[in-house]
Chain A
Amino acid sequence: MTKKKRTASPQARAQKIYQQLKSDIFDFRLPPGQRFSESDIARRTGVSRTPVREALHKLEKEGYLQVASRSGWNVRPFDFQFFENLYDVRVILELAAVRQLCDREAVVDLRELKDAWLVPTARRLRDMKRVAQLDERFHEALVEAAGNPELSRLHRGVTERIRIIRRLDFTQERRIQCTYDEHAQILRHLLARRRNQVEILLRAHIESSKAEVRKITLHMLHQARSSLERAPAARRRARASTHR
């Protein structure tokens, strides 16, 4: 009989640290530009340095962190232009997909999307996390319906990269309602194969989400920065000395 492991494997610990740091970055608890060391993280989480290092390297590879010095790290500065580029490519890929859908002879099965988005106001979801997931799925499913795996592959790449800021769009009730309205409209036109309307609406929908997200990100960055500045100088000095 094999014995069950009592403690988590180093990989599992690294994975846990990775998830935690990623959500710290996503929620601006670790704001862009924030410096820290491997031992800071090891101490705070009570995990040895090897899995911490593994998690940090993974986040570096994904572009969230960068190495500052020997064991120093910082959160990569926020690159607005990069995100704009990603959103622009998202528009290109999604428009290519819906054009395909509208021009196609065969009827496209969009039941999954109809069930999720063409619902009475009372049945609309309100939970920010769920709506964010559902929104990703809406756009992913549109692209998948076009039946081009390569288009889907690139589109998924964009989705992964913008997730960090995209979910901010669902922090306000108003924006959630807008999303429902717009998705419903896009679906109705798509089902009727009104190609021009679908294109215009989809482009406008993504552009407005991009603008909203930009606004919220700027606001959150500003808040994170001013709370950093408010941090007592003594604490910062203490932290700095443990870095050495």
Chain B
Amino acid sequence: MRDDMTAKKVTALEVYEKLQEMILSFELRPGSRVTETELADYFRVSRTPVREALQRLEQEGHLTIRSKQGCFIREIDIKELSDYYQVRIALEMAAVESACNHMPTKELEALAQQWRPSAQPKRVASETMKEKDEAFHMALAGGSGNRVLIKYLRDINHHIRIIRRVDFDHHERISRTYREHFEILQSLLQRDADKARFLVKRHILRSEKFAKTLTLTQLARKKSFAKRFDGV
């Protein structure tokens, strides 16, 4: 009995992970419609785990559930992505400027220790890397000592996370992240606010460009798979 319960949980989680992957890779095309029944058939499971997975994806903003109509996959809007990045840049530039005056050297040194290029692991999961990256940026925001700024940056990051593609798959990109984070930390340790502002801006602009390119290329090669769920 208990095994059965666990099995159900596992199924819901598996369906969730698979669906999320399908959404992020555009196998399920933005704006398209899917129904519980279709997905249950596709995954060869009952509707309960599918419903659970869909609800979680809705909470995370990947899709909208409309009763009796089905689920609609979130539309991708490149302008929206730019809007979020623009706000993020403004907030983070101000944050490092303030962190430059307020953040204790000890904290900065601890972060620099984590991000020195030689500390880069040979292999790191994209998911782990995403978390580490966000933690770094939030630590700098924390260093500003401005509660409102921290809250708003978290808000913006949440939105970016949903529309941003997985972009830590390449070794080169990971090395670059280590290098750039380390550079930013060095400028903060030198208490050079102008340099820190400049580096943070460049760093985020690069990641924006990367996220956009990736999104557009992936969108361009829509899989025929998506059509299976279209216009049913």
Contact = CB atoms under 8 A, between A and B. Distances in A.
A131 interface: no
Interface string A176-189: 00000000000000
Interface string B146-159: 11110010011001
Given A89-B148, A92-B149, A150 B83 contact: yes
A89 B87 contact: no
A150 B147 CA distance: 19
A96 B148 contact: no
Interface residues of B, number: 17
A85 B87 contact: no
Nearest to B98: A88
Contacts of B155: 154
Interface in A141-172: 148-151, 154, 157-158
B84 interface: yes
Contact of A154 (B80, B87, B146): B87
Contacts of A41: none
A82 interface: yes
A142 to B, nearest CB: 14
A165 to B, nearest CB: 14
Interface string A97-141: 000100000000000000000000000000000000000000000
A148 B147 contact: no
A88 B148 CA distance: 9
A42 interface: no
A213 interface: no
Given A89-B152, A92-B94, A150 B146 contact: no
Contacts of B148: 82, 85-86, 88-89, 158
A96 B87 contact: yes
Contacts of A85: 146-149
A95 interface: yes
Contacts, number: 49
Contact of A148 (B86, B149, B152): B86
Main secondary structure of the interface of A (DSSP, over half): helix
Interface in B23-72: none
Contacts of B149: 85, 88-89, 92
A148 B146 contact: no
Given A85-B148, A88-B146, A89-B146, A150 B87 contact: yes
Given A82-B147, A92-B91, A93-B90, A151 B152 contact: no
Interface string B89-110: 1110010000000000000000
Nearest to A99: B90
A174 B10 CA distance: 68
Interface centre among A82, A92, A157 (most CB of B within 10 A): A92
A150 B87 CA distance: 7
Given A89-B146, A92-B91, A154 B152 contact: yes
Given A88-B148, A89-B146, A96-B90, 19 more contacts: A85-B146, A85-B147, A85-B149, A88-B149, A89-B91, A92-B91, A93-B87, A95-B90, A96-B89, A148-B86, A148-B87, A149-B83, A150-B83, A150-B84, A150-B87, A151-B83, A151-B90, A154-B155, A157-B152
User: 9 shortest A-B CB distances, which residue pairs?
Assistant: A96-B90, A85-B148, A92-B94, A150-B83, A85-B146, A148-B83, A89-B148, A150-B87, A86-B148
